[in-house]
Amino acid sequence: MRAVLRVGVIGAGLIGRDHIRRLTTVLAGIDVVAVADVDAFVAAQVAAPLGATVHPNGLALIAADEVDAVLVCSWGGTHEEYVLAAIAAGKPVFCEKPLATTREACLRIVAAEVAHGRRLVQVGYMRRYDAAYRALKQVLDSGVIGAPLMMHCAHRNAGVPAFYEPENTITDTAVHEIDMVRWMFGAEIVAVRVLRPRVSRNAGSLPDPLLLVLELANEVLVDVEISVNVRYGYDIRGEILGEDGTVSLENPGLIAVRHAGRLAGPVPGDWRDRFATAYDVELREWADSVIGGGPPAGPGSWDGYAAAVVSDAAVRALRTGDRVAVTVDERPAIYS
Ligand SMILES: NC(=O)C1=CN([C@@H]2O[C@H](COP(=O)(O)OP(=O)(O)OC[C@H]3O[C@@H](n4cnc5c(N)ncnc54)[C@H](O)[C@@H]3O)[C@@H](O)[C@H]2O)C=CC1
Ligand SMILES: O=C1[C@@H](O)[C@H](O)[C@@H](O)[C@H](O)[C@H]1O
């Protein structure tokens, strides 16, 4: 692989643009040489200051000789086609979450990668790169709080895009906790329930908030509050209860203001603020693995598939109110 990694980006929306900014201004040794978006105006606007080529569609970008590796940042329903094309072209691909929107689509990606014989895919589950989540895991793994019993999580968005349907609260939002929990506890989720409290007056047509209850194979129970219209900011919480103590994420704000008898501090506006450094580390490590010619070090197709299996079950639980059991296929050897 060349010393400068030449990346093509498909999808120049919010996260596509944010990733292009970090690839070109924060991280060294990476050029964004190609951009594609179904909105040709957006693609041209983003590509121009980079001197990047605008391709008529994502498939043309993947096929281009000048593109060493691909970033897929378009909507979830489009990921499968692009990831499969990148695998067919033998090019490393970083795909924003979710890997694909159904279990079946993820399995097709896993099958293609297994047939190719080498891991090429990384999925954008950036919480695994967040300093606070990493510190939480370090304490858990050290044994200092004893054996884990439960975890309480909250995932609150100030608001979400207009395209959100009820299932997006699971497939686009709760999917982060689904992946984080598998990584944090090193155990699969075996069943899921979704409880629906009174609907928020800010909810629009969404079932909001929701409470997910995830049962893990090691008997740890995790509850996840999903609120996608809290208005006040982006608020990510987590606390693990162990037999001998607890460990929790603290307010990530850098300052606290004490004034006139009150204590106040900033709440991040959205995921770009809260996870900025995690995305930087995630893409640095991904680019280094590609430049080094090795498999991606981060979550791969199998993790994307495992998260989608739980998402599918949670969407069913949301619709029916049932406790839905989760079964994962046998893990192919290239993911062990
Ligand atoms: N890891 C994280 O924290 C985050 C991940 N995401 C994920 O990133 C992806 C994009 O999300 P946003 O940037 O928020 O959406 P967005 O709507 O701001 O941008 C998506 C872009 O993709 C383009 N697009 C749609 N279909 C396309 C296709 N077939 N080919 C090429 N371009 C296409 C759209 O025109 C748009 O410019 C989603 O999968 C989302 O779940 C988004 C936000 C944060
Ligand atoms: O991935 C993300 C968005 O797509 C999603 O809409 C938000 O709910 C998440 O907090 C954010 O991290």
pLDDT in tens, 233-252: 999 999 999 999 999 999 88
Q: Where in the chain is the domain with CATH 3.30.360.10?
A: 127-268+310-325
Whether the complex's predicted ipTM is more than 0.90 is answered with yes
What is the distance in A from the centroid of ligand 1 to the CA of 63?
21
The two tokens of residue 5 are: 């990694």
CA 228 – ligand 2 centroid, Å: 9
CA of 147 to the centre of ligand 2 (A): 30
Which pLDDT belongs to residue 2? 54
Ligand 1: which atom is nearest the Cα of residue 76? 39
Tell me which ligand sits closest to the C-alpha of residue 57. Answer: 1
**Residue 201 to residue 335: CA distance in whole angstroms:** 44
Q: Which of 9, 10, 15 best tests ligand 1's pocket when mutated (most atoms within 8 Å of CB)?
A: 15
Sheet holding 30-36: strands in order across? 53-54, 30-36, 5-10, 69-72, 93-95, 121-123
Residues with CB under 6 A from ligand 1: 10-16, 36-39, 42, 58, 73-76, 78, 96-97, 124, 126, 172, 271
Positions of CATH 3.40.50.720 in the chain: 5-126+277-298
Q: Are 6 and 23 in contact (CB under 8 A)?
A: no
Separation CA 209–CA 223 (nearest Å): 13
Tokens read off for 266: 């900033």
Closest C-alpha to ligand 2, atom 7? 173
Centre of ligand 2 from the C-alpha of residue 232, in Å: 16
CATH class of 5-126+277-298: alpha beta
Q: Is 176 in the pocket of ligand 2 (CB under 6 A)?
A: yes
Centroid of ligand 2 to alpha carbon of 121 (angstroms): 20
The CATH architecture one would assign to domain 127-268+310-325 is 2-Layer Sandwich (3.30)
Residue 70 CA, ligand 1 centroid: distance in Å: 14
Q: Which protein residue's CA is at the shortest distance from atom 24 of ligand 1?
A: 74
Q: Give yes or no for residue 271 CB within 6 A of ligand 2.
A: yes
CA nearest 10: which of 87, 67, 89? 67
Q: What is the pTM of this model?
A: 0.97
Q: How far is it, in rounded angstroms, from Cα 320 to Cα 257?
A: 46
Separation in Å, CA 222 to CA 112, 130, 320 = 33, 20, 20
pLDDT, one tens digit for every residue, the chain (336 residues)? 557 999 999 999 999 999 999 999 999 999 999 999 999 999 999 999 999 999 999 999 999 999 999 999 999 999 999 999 999 999 999 999 999 999 999 999 999 999 999 999 999 999 999 999 999 999 999 999 999 999 999 999 999 998 899 999 999 999 999 999 999 999 999 999 999 999 999 999 999 999 999 999 999 999 999 999 999 999 999 999 999 999 999 988 889 999 999 999 999 999 999 999 999 999 999 999 999 999 998 999 999 999 999 999 999 999 999 999 999 999 999 999
- CA–centroid distance, residue 17 to ligand 1 (Å): 10
Q: Is the CB of 19 under 6 A from ligand 2?
A: no
Ligand nearest to the CA of 13: 1
Residue closest to 100 by CA, chosen among 302, 292, 260: 302
